[in-house]
Amino acid sequence: MKAPTRRTLAKQQTRAKVLAAARRLFSEEGYEGATIRDIAAAAGMSTGAVFANFADKSDLFREIMVADMAALAEAMAEAGARGANVEDAILGMFTAGYGFYQTRLPLARAAFSVGWSPQEGPVLRGAPPVQVLLDLIIDQLTAGAARGELAPDPDLALRAQMLFDIYLSNYPQAIFQAWTVEALRARSRDQIRILLAGVRKA
């Protein structure tokens, strides 16, 4: 395997500095408050250096969010694997997700505002890691049916999407009302139980 050139390494270091500065400013100032000029200054470089690596602010923010969602998917997958049954697995996944962002609430607040904006929202919500999260839920539902906990569900993909929507719908309580992970877990338990009631075997 060919070793990276000095130029390639320098470019990677520049990107890493820009991303670190952008993450900090998005957390402190929100998406709208953080400007490319401020991000460049915080990274100790020119705006031209930022634009040499990222198309615009939304491109920069999206890369941060995609990286976080990839790490989130890993945490949720590990939590789901420890579940005693399908309901417990999905609840564990949701709880892991809320715990993941508990220390990143300012950044989550910025993501929430961007995620529902008409311009950047569809791109962010359509990012590959989002599909990975959906697939994790589908896998749990499929495994639950295979174990005989759930009846075969012709609307499995739709049910998984509804569960994912439930997961997302609880973030405003965490972001804007300071709900704890424990409170979000209790709310999620009831929501998951209701949504799975129609396919749960007696």
pLDDT, tens only, 49-61? 999 999 999 899 9
Give 165's contacts (C-beta < 8 A, 6+ positions apart). none
Give pLDDT tens digits for 87-136: 999 999 999 999 998 888 888 888 877 776 767 666 677 777 788 999 99
Question: What token pair was written down for 147?
Answer: 């174990």
- Of 171, 89, 97, the C-alpha closest to 133 is 97
Euclidean distance between CA atoms 25 and 45, whole angstroms: 15
Stretch among 48-62, 117-131, 138-152, 163-177 having the lowest mean pLDDT: 117-131
Domains along the sequence of the chain with CATH:
1-54 (1.10.10.60), 59-196 (1.10.357.10)
pTM: 0.87
Evaluate if residue 38 carries a pLDDT over 70: yes
